[in-house]
């Protein structure tokens, strides 16, 4: 499945479209033939190394060598573990230790990890082409992504070759058709799994992938790429589109054929405005935790209106082909239509479990009979319900639910009413512990300071007193994390007790 859905199509692309552009990186183009030569020289170096493990560290730079390294690692049957060069060295060393990495590939010249064997790929010389795919089993690892862990240490999510092969198959059945004439956006860091869709789908269809240099402001660089290169396909986080909102009247990209919104909940009003900037694009809202390999549900937006939403956020639609979705309550009982609970996902895209973390795996995965078959499900941690037509409505993170005065509160409801009052301005509500140890709510509004009293009056007219924020802060621009999502942790640090 991995070879037939990824490596074999890529080999065919190189054979048929070798002179076509595969990448545009920092305004420089690289053909498929050039990419193939970089892959071949790195494969030769891997064969010559004394690497004994299965996992190879990859310094996640934005250059042709780094992307070539991913394919070299896959061709040789290994798994890559991305190490972000701008993240703390201690965190990367922790990842290296957990993943038992004894070899790192780096396209730069700085030896970031002196205690680990490092191959500097830009120093290698090309000798002969080698795109022969080895007979590697589908139950071998493809990559491990490390996400934030509740213990303070990053936790690894291993994705097998059959997981990503299954994803490519299910994604191909959505209806998004990419070909060798497309120009595709890749604006996510390689430590985030949407980046994998963003380069794999183009590279297995002969399209050109346009990336964002680390030293550039993402949203402004994306703005330039969209218009200057007339991109035709791209996945973006709603937070990035929100950054572009002041320029909507100037943005006109009729070339864009497909636009995916992902990584966080999509506000309907924002998407409605954005759709006017991309008049010919089909727009999709995709949802998926890392544990279910990139995406697992999707909803196609109807530009004529009548889109499903809850608290102003678009539906995340139905499960992709080969996946099953259910809603369970706190006791694990499967919920019926329109009953809220935790969304759980099953299918071939599910990770086998957390890397060397059996307790967390046992906590997050379970087996349940579903329509006569025993299936393995993953608890997403997202509060949802499924409507009468089978579409999933996202209501918020379970860990964004708090209890105040004994009442359970969905912070997303506070955010919804704030956006309604402020005509779509972005808002984030967070819970914090005050000096007396009681839980309070702080509300952050992405705007210049406005009349807080008017906002408070409006919120009091819509919600009970225990839901009214104790503090309101105004920020001209919300901070984003490396995945393009609003950084709630950074906002929380701004709360003054």
Least confident piece of the model among 62-76, 209-223, 281-295: 209-223
- What does pLDDT average to over the chain? 92
User: What's the predicted TM-score (pTM) here?
Assistant: 0.86
Q: Mean pLDDT over residues 6-34, rounded?
A: 98
CA–CA dist 171, 197 (Å, integer): 9
For the stretch 456-470, pLDDT in tens is 888 888 877 778 898
Q: What is the pLDDT of residue 20?
A: 98
Question: Residue 108: which pLDDT band, with cuts at 50, 70 and 90?
Answer: confident
Residue 256 and residue 140: Cα distance in Å, rounded? 36
From-to residues of CATH 2.30.38.10 in the chain: 313-396
* 441 strand-pairing partners: 431
What would the DSSP string read from start to end of 75-129?
Answer: HTT-EEEEE-TTS-HHHHHHHHHHTT--EEEESSSS-S-TTSEEEEGGG----S-
Residues of the chain with CATH 3.30.300.30: 405-492
Q: Which candidate, 285, 282, 281, places its Cα nearest to that of 297?
A: 285
The dihedrals phi and psi of 430, each to the nearest 5 degrees, come to -130, 150
Residue 196 pLDDT greater than 80, yes or no: yes
Q: Which CATH architecture has domain 313-396?
A: Roll (2.30)
Kindly list the distances between the CA atom of residue 335 and the CA atoms of 67, 243, 397, 427, in Å, as whole numbers in the listed order. Answer: 43, 38, 17, 30
Helix (H), strand (E), coil (C) string for 291-307:
HHCCCCEEEECCCCCCC
Q: Residue 243: what pLDDT?
A: 86
Which helix (H) or strand (E) element contains residue 35? helix 32-48
As a whole number of angstroms, the distance between CA 491 and CA 479 comes to 7
What pLDDT, in 10s, does the model give residues 279-326? 999 999 999 999 999 999 999 999 988 999 998 999 999 999 999 999
| Residue bearing tokens 């970089």 | 38
Q: Which residues contact 91 (CB under 8 A, 6 or more apart)?
A: 154
Is domain 2-309 classified as CATH 3.30.310.50? no
Q: Which residue has the tokens 């997981």?
A: 163
CA-CA distance, 194 to 186, in Å (whole number)?
A: 9
Distance, CA of 183 to CA of 178 (rounded, Å): 9
Query: For residue 358, what are the contacts with CB-CB under 8 A and spacing of at least 6?
Result: none
Pick from 219-233, 349-363, 420-434: least confident: 420-434
The pLDDT value given to residue 252: 96
Domain with CATH 3.40.50.12780 in the chain: 2-309
What digits encode the pLDDT tens for the residues 376-418? Answer: 999 999 999 999 999 999 998 887 767 676 566 778 888 888 9
359 contacts: CB under 8 Å, gap ≥ 6: none
Average pLDDT of the residues in 35-62: 94
Q: Please state the rounded mean pLDDT for residues 163-176.
A: 97
Between 61 and 264, the higher pLDDT residue:
61
DSSP-derived pairing of the beta strands 297-300 and 318-319: antiparallel
Asked if residue 315 lies in contact with residue 307, where contact means CB atoms within 8 angstroms, the answer is yes
DSSP state of 335: P
Bridge partners for 1 per DSSP: none
Provide the CATH topology of domain 405-492. Answer: GMP Synthetase; Chain A, domain 3 (3.30.300)
Ramachandran sector of residue 371 (left: φ over 0; alpha: ψ -120 to 50; beta: rest): left
Residues 6+ apart with CB under 8 A from 436: none
Across 272-278, average pLDDT = 96
The percentage of the chain sitting over the pLDDT mark of 70, rounded to a whole number, equals 97
Chain centroid offset of residue 409 CA? 27
**What is the spatial distance between Cα 22 and Cα 35, in angstroms, rounded to a whole number?**
7
């Amino acid at each position: 499945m991995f070879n037939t859905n990824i490596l074999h199509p890529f080999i065919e692309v190189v054979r048929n479209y070798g002179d076509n552009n595969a990448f545009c990186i920092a305004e420089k183009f690289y053909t498929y033939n050039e990419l193939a030569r970089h892959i071949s020289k790195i494969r030769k170096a891997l064969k010559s190394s004394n690497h004994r493990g299965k996992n190879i560290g990859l310094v996640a730079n934005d250059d042709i060598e780094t992307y070539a390294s991913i394919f070299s690692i896959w061709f040789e049957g290994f798994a890559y573990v991305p190490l972000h060069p701008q993240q703390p060295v201690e965190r990367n060393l922790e990842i290296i230790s957990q993943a038992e990495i004894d070899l790192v590939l780096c396209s730069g010249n700085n030896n970031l990890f002196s205690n680990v064997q490092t191959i500097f790929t830009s120093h290698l010389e090309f000798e002969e082409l080698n795109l022969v795919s080895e007979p590697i089993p589908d139950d071998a690892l493809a990559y491990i992504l490390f996400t934030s862990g509740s213990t303070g240490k990053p936790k690894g999510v291993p994705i097998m070759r059959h997981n990503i092969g299954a994803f490519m198959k299910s994604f191909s059945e959505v209806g998004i058709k990419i070909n060798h004439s497309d120009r595709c956006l890749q604006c996510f860091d390689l430590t985030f799994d949407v980046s994998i869709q963003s380069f794999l789908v183009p590279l297995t269809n002969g399209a050109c992938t346009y990336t964002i240099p680390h030293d550039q402001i993402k949203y402004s660089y994306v703005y330039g790429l969209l218009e200057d290169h007339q991109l035709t396909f791209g996945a973006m986080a709603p937070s990035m589109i929100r950054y572009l909102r002041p320029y909507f009247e100037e943005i006109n990209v009729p070339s864009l054929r497909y636009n995916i919104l992902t990584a966080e909940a999509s506000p309907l009003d924002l998407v409605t405005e954005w759709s006017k900037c991309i008049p010919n694009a089909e727009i999709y809202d995709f949802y998926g935790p890392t544990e279910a390999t990139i995406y697992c549900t999707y909803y196609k937006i109807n530009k004529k209106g009548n889109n499903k939403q809850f608290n102003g956020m678009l539906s995340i639609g139905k499960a992709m082909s080969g996946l099953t979705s259910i809603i369970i309550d706190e006791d694990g009982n499967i919920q019926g239509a329109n009953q809220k609970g935790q969304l759980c996902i099953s299918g071939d895209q599910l990770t086998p479990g957390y890397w060397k973390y059996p307790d967390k795996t046992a906590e997050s995965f379970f087996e349940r009979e579903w329509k006569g078959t025993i299936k393995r499900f993953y608890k997403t941690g997202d509060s949802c319900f499924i409507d009468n037509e089978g579409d999933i409505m996202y209501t918020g993170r379970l860990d964004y639910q708090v209890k105040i005065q004994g009442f359970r509160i969905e912070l997303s409801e506070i955010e919804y009413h704030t956006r309604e009052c402020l005509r779509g301005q972005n808002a984030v509500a967070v819970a914090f512990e005050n000096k007396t140890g009681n839980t309070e709510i702080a509300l952050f509004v992405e705007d210049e300071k406005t009349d807080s009293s008017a906002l408070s009056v409006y919120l009091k007219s819509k919600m009970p007193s225990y839901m009214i924020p104790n503090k309101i802060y105004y920020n001209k621009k919300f901070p984003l994390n490396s995945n393009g999502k609003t950084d709630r942790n950074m906002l929380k640090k701004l709360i003054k007790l």
